[in-house]
Amino acid sequence: MKKKLGPYRPSDDKTPKYTVKDVSEMMQVSSYTIRYYENEGLIPGVERSRGNIRLFSDHTLAWLRIVHCLRMTGLPIEGVKHYINLCLKGDATIPERAELLAKQEKNLKHQIKMLREQMDILKYKQGLYKKLMDGEMEDTCNPARSKAANG
Amino acid sequence: MKKKLGPYRPSDDKTPKYTVKDVSEMMQVSSYTIRYYENEGLIPGVERSRGNIRLFSDHTLAWLRIVHCLRMTGLPIEGVKHYINLCLKGDATIPERAELLAKQEKNLKHQIKMLREQMDILKYKQGLYKKLMDGEMEDTCNPARSKAANG
DNA sequence: TAAGGGATTACAGTTACTATAAGTCAATAC
DNA sequence: GTATTGACTTATAGTAACTGTAATCCCTTA
């Protein structure tokens, strides 16, 4: 059997450290994406082990969480970069950050609304299929129907 | 002044016809995307005017609606193509189509759940910012805070 | 000391658009 | 009747955000 030791951690540091794979599993984000974000400077302060392996702390994990959140709301990478830079500049930028988040919240609300509309469409279509499969509308050759319906 | 006549419509046809731009405005989908979908064969049966201009009917509009819906649920273009082909094959494919829609519904539910979680994160962050702006946590130089907080 | 497995980098490839340039055509303007 | 306008066409190039691959490195265990 093999014992999993994990990557090298500085001995004088008791805070937990996570590898890309750990983070990937914790946050349901692909390893590719995590490395991509880190390379783009979207996650400041990620440490490296002696063997050059990325080590995330709870702190850098929190950065990733907000990056991921902003991406989900539709903010492009460049926008996220801008937000991160605002954060690094200190408290003076808080109003601008708050404004940005408000905009993304609005965006997100709209997204959710759209998705719920799609849900209704799916439900409706599924209802139709169910009827057809249960034989309630078995007049397949009816020209009126075949003219009006697609799918 | 100029009178808008719109594109040529076959004189023997009284059903309404829409251009790409009309459809784009009706459905909030870019003209680029609509042409792209049509070129990919995702919207069967789109007519052309004598001047080669795309003419959508309510019927082809309905195709676009379902294509758009499936894309929103995360089904890739190739998957949509497959669904469209199933539709064109006739009622024998209804069970498979129903299964596909069920899968997309599940997918969509998950998406909405994820987005709502992001909403919570945004709300929380905004709450923090509000407090900071109202001066309730004005100890900016507190090392404990600057160590723990990002953004 | 050699082998193994997982992480690293650089870079190529993919998806789904998005934008541009050159050309066509119907409809007014003159 | 011809010129101009402007929306639409195609072909093709460009972009954003990953995603995948190949070569290399390095820690661990045999």
Residues with Cβ within 8 Å of B93's Cβ and at least 6 positions away in sequence, in order, are: B86, B87
pLDDT surpassing 80 at residue A141 = no
Q: Decide if A36 contacts A23 (C-beta within 8 A).
A: no
Average pLDDT, chain A: 87
What number is the average pLDDT over the span B35-61? 96
**Quick one: pLDDT at residue B138?**
56
**Quick one: pLDDT at residue A139?**
46
What number is the average pLDDT over the span A109-122? 98
8-state DSSP, A53: -
pLDDT surpassing 60 at residue B4 = no
**Quick one: pLDDT at residue B135?**
81
Picking from A61, A53, A52, the residue whose alpha carbon sits closest to that of residue A15 is: A61
Confidence of residue A135 (pLDDT cuts 50, 70, 90): confident
**Quick one: pLDDT at residue B137?**
66
Q: Report the range out of A6-15, A82-91, B13-22, B139-148 with the highest average pLDDT.
A: A82-91
Please write the tens of the pLDDT for every residue from B125-149. 999 999 999 887 654 444 344 444 6
Q: Where are the domains of chain A?
A: 20-137
Higher-pLDDT residue of B12, A71: A71
Question: Which residues in window 59-118 of B are less than 7 A from strand C by Cβ?
Answer: 71, 76-78
CA torsion sign for B103, B78, A74, A41 is positive
> In this structure, which topology does domain A20-137 adopt according to CATH?
Multidrug-efflux Transporter Regulator; Chain: A; Domain 2 (1.10.1660)
Average pLDDT, chain B: 87
What number is the average pLDDT over the span B43-51? 95
Kind and range of the H or E run holding A106? helix A94-133
pLDDT surpassing 60 at residue B9 = no
| Cβ contacts, strand D, under 7 angstroms | A 2-5, 7-8, 30, 32-33, 36, 49-52, 71, 76-78; B 7, 19-22, 31, 35, 39, 52-54
- With pLDDT > 90 as the criterion, what percentage of chain A qualifies? 78
Q: Is A55 helix (H, G, I), strand (E, B) or coil?
A: strand
Among A66, A94, A112, select the one facing B115 at the smallest CB separation. A112
**Quick one: pLDDT at residue A15?**
86
Q: Is B18 exposed, middle or buried (0-12, 13-18, 19+ CB in 10 A)?
A: buried
**Residues of chain A with C-beta less than 8 angstroms from the C-beta of B91:** 132, 140
pLDDT surpassing 90 at residue A51 = yes
Interface test with A, best of B67, B104, B118, B120 (most A CBs within 10 A): B118
Picking from A59, A21, A113, A150, the residue whose alpha carbon sits closest to that of residue B97 is: A150
pLDDT surpassing 80 at residue A2 = no
State the amino acid at position A135 in one-letter form: G
Q: How far apart are CA B104 and CA A80, in angstroms?
A: 29
